[in-house]
Chains A and B, each alone.
Chain A
Amino acid sequence: MDRLSVTLCGIPLSNPVIPASGTFGYGYEFAELYDINILGTFSFKGTTKEPRFGNPTPRIAECTAGMINAVGLQNPGVEKVICDELPKLKKVFNKPVMANVSGFSLEEYAYTCERLNSCDEVGWIEVNVSCPNVHSGGMSFGVDKSEAAKVTRAVKKVTTKPVILKLSPNVTDIVSIAKACEEAGADGISLINTLLGMRIDLKTKRPVIKNTMGGFSGPAVFPVALRMVYQVAHAVKIPVVGMGGVSCAEDVIEMMLAGASAVEVGAQNLIDPFACKKIIEDLPQAMDRHGIDRLEDIIGKA
C-alpha cells in the first residue's frame, strides 16, 4: 500500500504532486531532466482553439518571494497539441495527463474541450476560467458565478472525462463561484490561479510588464491560496486541487490538511526544474516527521 497515493475524480494518482499549467510546457522538456512518470500527473500548457503568441514582452517581473507573468496563453492551438505535442508526450509519459483549456467564448471552450476529450492520453480536463470573455467586454468568466457556471455546463455537455474548474482568486467571494460550478456539474475545483499584480521599473518609471499587469505567483501567495482552498473545500462536495505558492513537501501536506485531494506546483518549477521530483522524494520523510501514515487520511483534517 502506497502512503502517497490519492484519487482525483475517480482516477488514481501515485502521489498528489502535479506540476501546474504554464510551468511545465507539454512535459517532454522536463523528461530530458528526470523520469516524469514519478509525478502524480501534470497539467499541460493552457491550450486554446487557435494558436496564440500571447502578450508582448517583457512579460515577466520579479517580486519578493514570487514573480509576475503576463505570458497570455501562448500555445500552438488545440489541433497542433493533439497532432504534435501529445504524441511526443506519449513517448515519455505513460499516465493520464491533465489537459488545461482556455477560451474567449463559450463556443471556444466547448470546441477545445470536445477535441481533447477524444484523446486517450487525457485523464482530466482542467478549465481555466480566468480568461476574458470577448462577448462581455473582456470581463473574465471566472469573476461571475453565472458566467463560470455557463462555462461548466458548456464543457460538461461535450465531455465524458472529469472536468475540473480552475478558479481565479481575483474575486470577492470564491466560495459562491466554486458552488456555482459544482451545481453546474463540475467534477472538481482547482485553485488558485494567479493574483493580479504589478511592478514599476524605477529607472524608466514605467510598469515592468508591457501589459502593465500580470499574474502574481510564488511562495508569497501560499497563505492566500491555502485560505481559499480551505474555504472552498469546506463548501463543496467535489474534490479540490490546491495550488498557489507550493514549493516543498510541507506545503503539500498543509494544502491537503486544508482540504486538497491533490496539489499543483507552479512557479517553483521555474526556479528549480527538479522541484516536483524533490517534493515527491521528500514527502515520506516529511510525513514521518509529522506522524502522517497515509496522505489520503489527512485531506481536510485541519
Chain B
Amino acid sequence: MKDTIFTITENKKIAKDVYRMTLKGDTEEIKRPGQFVNIKLDGLYLRRPISVCDCEGDTLTLIYKVVGKGTRQMSLMKERETLNILTGLGNGYDTSLSESTPLLLGGGVGVPPLYLLAKELISQEKKVTVVLGFNTADEVFYEEEFRSLGCDVTVVTVDGSYGKRGFVTDALPSLYSYFYTCGPEPMLKAVYQKTDTSGQLSFEERMGCGFGACMGCSCKTLTGYKRICKDGPVMKKEEILWTD
C-alpha cells in the first residue's frame, strides 16, 4: 500500500453515467489486475474504493459509475486537479491458475478490472474470451478496447438493445479452461452456478478503511473469515460460501 498524490490527465464520460479517469503518479504498488485504489475526496469522510482498470508506467486508468455523492464529485473533476489515493489495495486476480483458454465475465462497472487482467493473460499468450454484460445499449463500454487487445468479445444487454439479449451467463462459450469474473453479486452467484470450471470472483462490500484495519467488510468463506478489502476482493470459487 502506498499513500500518494495523483494528477488527473483526463476525465471523460464513456457511457451513460460511466466515466474514465486517467491519472499520473506513483503506481509502483499496483502489482496485479483486480486490485483497487482508495480515493480521498474533499469534504467526504470515507475514501472511495475504485478498481484499477489499467496501469502502465506512471499512468493509472480508473472507470467508475456515478452512483452517489463521491462518484458525482469525481465526475466533475478536471485535468491537472490532484487526488490523494491509497494504491495497491486488495489481493487481485491470480493469472497463473488459468491455463490456456480463460473466460472473463464482466457486468456493468465490474468490467473495468477485467481489462488489465485480459492484457496480462494475453501477454502470457493465452486465448482470452470475454463476455461483457450491461443493462442497455447506452451503458455499453470497452467492447472495442478488449477486442484491440486480441480478445474474443461478446456483449449482452438485459433488454436486448445491443448485442445478444440476456445475462452474461446466457452467453457462456462451450469451451474454456478457467473463469474470472467481476460484477454485481446476483451475477457472481449465477456465474458460480453455471460455470463448470474453477475460477476467481471479485466481490464488493461497503468498506471502512480498504486496507484491512476496521473489519467492516468481512465475509464468511469455506476457509474462514476474510476481509474483502485485504484478503479479497478476489476469492477462489472453491472457498466461496453464499450466506443468503
Q: Is the CB of A271 within 8 A of B213?
A: no
Q: Does A172 contact B (CB under 8 A)?
A: no
CA A10 – CA B244 in complex, angstroms? 50
Report whether over half of chain B's contact residues are helix, strand or loop; otherwise say mixed.
loop
Q: Which residue of A lies closest to B38 (CB)?
A: A271
Residue of A nearest to B217 (CB): A57
For residue A278, give the distance in angstroms from its CB to the closest CB of chain B: 10
Rounded to whole angstroms, the CA-CA distance of A274 and B1 in the bound complex is 11
- Report chain A residues within 8 Å CB of B216: 57, 59-60, 69, 71
* Chain B residue at minimum C-beta to C-beta distance from A70: B216
A217-258: CB near B (< 8 Å → 1, else 0) gives 011000000000000000000000000000000000000000
Pick out which of these stretches binds chain B: A21-29, A90-98, A101-109, A132-140: A21-29
From residue A212, how far is it (CB to closest CB) to chain B in Å? 15
A274 touches B3 (CB 8 A): yes
| A63 CA / B208 CA spacing, docked (Å) | 12
List, in ascending order, chain A residues with CB within 8 A of B40's CB. Answer: 271
Annotate A48-62 by CB proximity to B: 1 below 8 A, 0 otherwise.
Answer: 000001101111111
Q: Which of B1-25 contact A (CB under 8 A)?
A: 1, 3
Residue B187 interfacial (CB < 8 Å): no
Q: Are B86 and A273 in contact (CB-based, < 8 A)?
A: yes
Instruction: List residues 179-236 of chain A with CB under 8 A from any CB of chain B.
Output: 208, 218-219
The one of A62, A219, A273 that contacts B209, using a Cβ cutoff of 8 Å: A273
Tell whether, in the assembled complex, residue B45 and residue A218 are in contact, meaning their CB atoms are under 8 Å apart: yes
A33, A63, A271 interface centre (most CB from chain B within 10 Å)? A271
A269 at the interface (CB under 8 A from B): yes
Q: A273-B3, A273-B86, A273-B209 are in contact. Are A60 and B214 (CB under 8 A)?
A: yes
Smallest CB gap from B212: residue in A = A29
CB of A67 within 8 A of CB of B217, answer no
A74 at the interface (CB under 8 A from B): yes
Interface size on A, residues (CB 8 A): 35
Q: Are A62 and B219 in contact (CB under 8 A)?
A: no
Residues of B within 8 A of A67 (CB): 45-46, 208
Q: Is A66 an interface residue (CB 8 A)?
A: yes
User: Please, which residues of chain A bring their CB within 8 A of the CB of B230?
Assistant: 29
Query: Are B218 and A273 neighbours in the complex by a CB distance under 8 Å?
Result: no
A204–B84 CA distance with the chains assembled, in angstroms = 31
Instruction: Indicate if the CB atoms of A269 and B213 lie closer than 8 Å.
Output: yes
- Report yes or no: B206 in contact with A271, Cβ–Cβ below 8 A: no
Residue A31 lies at the interface, judged by CB distance under 8 Å to chain B: no
Q: Is the CB of A22 within 8 A of B218?
A: no
Asked if B47 lies at the interface with its beta carbon under 8 angstroms from chain A, I say yes
User: CA–CA, A152 to B40, complex, Å?
Assistant: 41
C-beta contact mask, A16-42 vs B, less than 8 Å → 1, else 0?
000000111100011011000000000
Contact B215 A74 (CB under 8 A): yes
* Chain B residues, CB < 8 A from A30: 213
Which A residues are in CB contact (< 8 Å) with B225? Answer: 53, 74
Q: How long is the Cα–Cα vector from A32 to B217 in the complex, in angstroms?
A: 21
- The reply to whether the CB of B44 lies closer than 8 angstroms to some CB of chain A is yes
Q: Which residues of A contact B243 (CB under 8 A)?
A: 56
Of residues 105 through 127 on chain A, the ones whose CB sits less than 8 Å from some CB of chain B are: none
B190 to chain A minimum Cβ distance, whole angstroms, is 21
Across-interface contacts of B46 in A (CB, < 8 A):
60, 62, 67, 270-271
Smallest beta-carbon distance B234→chain A, Å: 17
Q: Complex: how many Å from CA A69 to CA B243?
A: 21
A53 touching B209 in the complex, CB below 8 Å, given contacts A22-B214, A33-B1, A60-B214: no
- Report chain B residues within 8 Å CB of A45: 215
CB contacts (< 8 Å) of B211 on chain A: these are: 29, 273
List chain A residues, Cβ under 8 A from B1. Answer: 32-33, 273
Residues of A within 8 A of B (CB): 22-25, 29-30, 32-33, 45, 53-54, 56-67, 69, 71, 74, 208, 218-219, 269-274
Report 16 cross-chain contacts, Cβ distance below 8 Å, ordered by A residue.
A22-B215, A23-B209, A24-B213, A25-B215, A29-B212, A30-B213, A33-B1, A58-B205, A60-B46, A63-B45, A67-B45, A69-B214, A74-B225, A270-B46, A271-B40, A271-B209
Q: A273-B86, A273-B213 are in contact. List 5 more A-B contacts (CB 8 A).
A: A29-B213, A32-B1, A57-B216, A60-B216, A63-B45
